[in-house]
Structure 1
């Protein structure tokens, strides 16, 4: 029986490898024969590396292109001077570009929703003096032993029970001072949309000067899903303005009429009241030298182009 199970496992592995190989060959032929910019073609071919469960989709359908451009318009960041930006949490996955700040202290809090065994943003914020408050139900304890970090083993959800807690309850429990420049960082693997739908987003602008999201599920081919996400992003933009956007280079990648897109994007926002000193000008492209870094080193950076 065990031998049979091992044999089936090997066969499944070979089938999976064969499917991946066939996909690579198919997509290589499609991309090679596309009538597009040579540099774009090269990037798409390089992105075929290490695709595993993810995919590259070439889709010039008008509705898909419109969804991508709608996302790009909502994510288009202010053209802040580079000296006003800082990267916290190191390079690659787990680091985020933010607006410069004066450090923590005086009970300034950094709320971190979604934690793993490697959460460098949390540690660096704690080292800068912020009171970092972590929430995640998928691990037994926080990854760092630091006096400025408090960990709660709970998922962020739409109701309060033994395993989950709402964002509204989090705000109440931690007594955030609305006069202080608190910061929110959220990476909760596609649950951010239900969280945003269940909370009054004006509360976020009341308590946080900056919010940072890793958005998931940004698939432009999902009609209903795209409309829901675009609606919630519009609500965020009523109170905050993007100051940095970066596409994850390991997720599902789309290419439509010269625009690259990913189903996962990191977006940093500054509260509108705190952005008044900057002119109403926006970046034409999103990748910033010395600030941006690829999420996964095995894949090339994805060009971010704004309409």
Structure 2
């Protein structure tokens, strides 16, 4: 299967453009990031996928959907990463499936977790703290674990109710306690861009902490992609403060107009009324860890949150830039 994906990615890359000298240089640059002992097919797939994405973005100048790099940069710089004056904790695994959140779970009555697939390390950590969890995912027939405080719904989360799909508003109405704060942990493969704006501030404000995996963030290079990113950031910033930011290292960052665009980024948001004090955030947070310990961890483009006076961490200088 992986060899087939490599072949498809290579063919896509070849179709978009014949490989130029610059692209050959970029391929060699990506190849140097291959760790010793890594699966060669898996690494080649990641390289081919990255090159295909970069060539697709380069071809946008032929369309009306290309974003202004200046506006993309302003959006990245304008996002504020803050230290909320609350201790942090990492829940879940030490790699993929673990998330860094404020250790502010006292009184939380439930967790809603759409998009679980075959693992629920984060949810298990909450269950062990006595916090009930409601999981939903239409791609699997059952939850990956059994627990008396866990419920599961084999359906997808989307912006509207329809067969096989539900909404955050409906989930809260059906399974959430009528009062009390909750946690939202969402990894729904791109549907977050529609779910968050459709939810409304009254629904989102039921959550004390929101943990998101944002997918295809490199499509900020398109006008339509940039608009949806701005819409989601605006919706969240009404009632929440961004407190943690971490790129997923399973995929290489995409190079575009001198910017490093990460396809998948993890974000943690804390509701504003839970903030004890506001200071500049720290990136990377020392509790963050590579999703895959066998692959290099990548540094975020320094323009992210550049206007908020981030406190540099020693790990920032050790992260790989490609």
**With structure 1 as the length reference, what TM-score do the two structures score?**
0.78
Q: Is 1:71 the equivalent of 2:76?
A: yes
Q: Deviations over 1:100-131 (max 9, x none)?
A: 03456xx7101101111112111111111100
Gaps of 5+ in 2: 36-42, 59-65, 307-322
Whole-Å separation in 1 of the counterparts to 2:258 and 2:101:
28
Looking at structure 2, the residues matched to 26 and 71 of structure 1 have their Cα atoms a distance apart, in angstroms, of 26
Counterpart of 1:39?
A: none
Q: Which runs of 5+ in 1 are unaligned?
A: 1-8, 33-41
Distance in 2 (CA, whole Å) between partners of 1:69 and 1:18 is: 33
Q: Deviation at 1:209?
A: 0.8
SS in structure 1 opposite 2:117?
A: coil
- For 1:287, the equivalent position in structure 2 comes to 284
How far 1:12 moved relative to its partner?
A: 6.8
The alpha-carbon deviation at position 45 of structure 1 amounts to: 4.1
Alpha-carbon shift at residue 262 of structure 1 (Å): 0.4
Structure 2 residue 215 is matched with structure 1 residue 216: yes
Q: Which moved more, 1:193-202 or 1:87-96?
A: 193-202
The 5 A counterparts of 1:126-205 are 126-178=127-179, 180-205=180-205
Q: CA deviation at 1:158?
A: 2.9
Q: Which residue of 1 aligns with 2:126?
A: 125
CA distance in 1, matches of 2:119, 2:132: 18
1:38 maps to: none
> Alignment partner of 2:133: what SS?
strand
In the TM superposition, residue 170 of structure 1 has moved relative to its aligned partner by 0.5
Which of 89, 96, 99 lines up with 1:93 in the alignment? 96
Residue in 1 aligned with 2:40? Answer: none
For residues 24 and 88 of structure 1, the distance between their equivalents in structure 2, rounded to whole angstroms, comes to 45
Distance in 2, Cα, partners of 1:272 & 1:15: 47
Query: CA 1:224–1:162 in 2, change beyond 3 Å: closer, same or farther?
Result: closer
Q: Counterparts of 1:13 and 1:136 in 2: how far apart (Å)?
A: 25
Deviation at 1:278, TM superposition (A): 1.1
Contact 1:113 1:185 in 2 (8 A): yes
Structure 1 residue 29: Cα displacement: 1.4
- Which residue in the other structure is 2:295 paired with? 299
Pairing 1:269–2:272 present? no
RMSD: 3.4
- In the other structure, the counterpart of 2:25 is 29
Q: Give, in whole Å, the separation in 2 of the partners of 1:282 and 1:237.
A: 16
Partner of 1:55: helix, strand, or coil?
helix
Number of residue pairs matched by the alignment: 279
* Shift in CA distance, 197/191, structure 1 to aligned 2, threshold 3 Å: same
- The DSSP-based 3-state class of the residue aligned with 2:184 is strand
1:264 to partner: Cα distance: 1.1
Residue 232 of structure 1: aligned partner: 232
How many Å separate the matches in 1 of 2:69 and 2:289? 27
- 1:15-60 deviations in Å (ceiling 9; x for gaps): 559768997996451487xxxxxxxxx7894169451553054989
Structure 1 residues 260 and 14, CA gap change in structure 2 (3 angstroms) = closer
TM-score, normalised relative to structure 2:
0.74
Return 216-225 or 60-69, whichever deviates more: 60-69
What's the offset of the Cα at 1:181? 2.9
1:73–1:92 distance in 2 versus 1, CA, 3 Å: farther
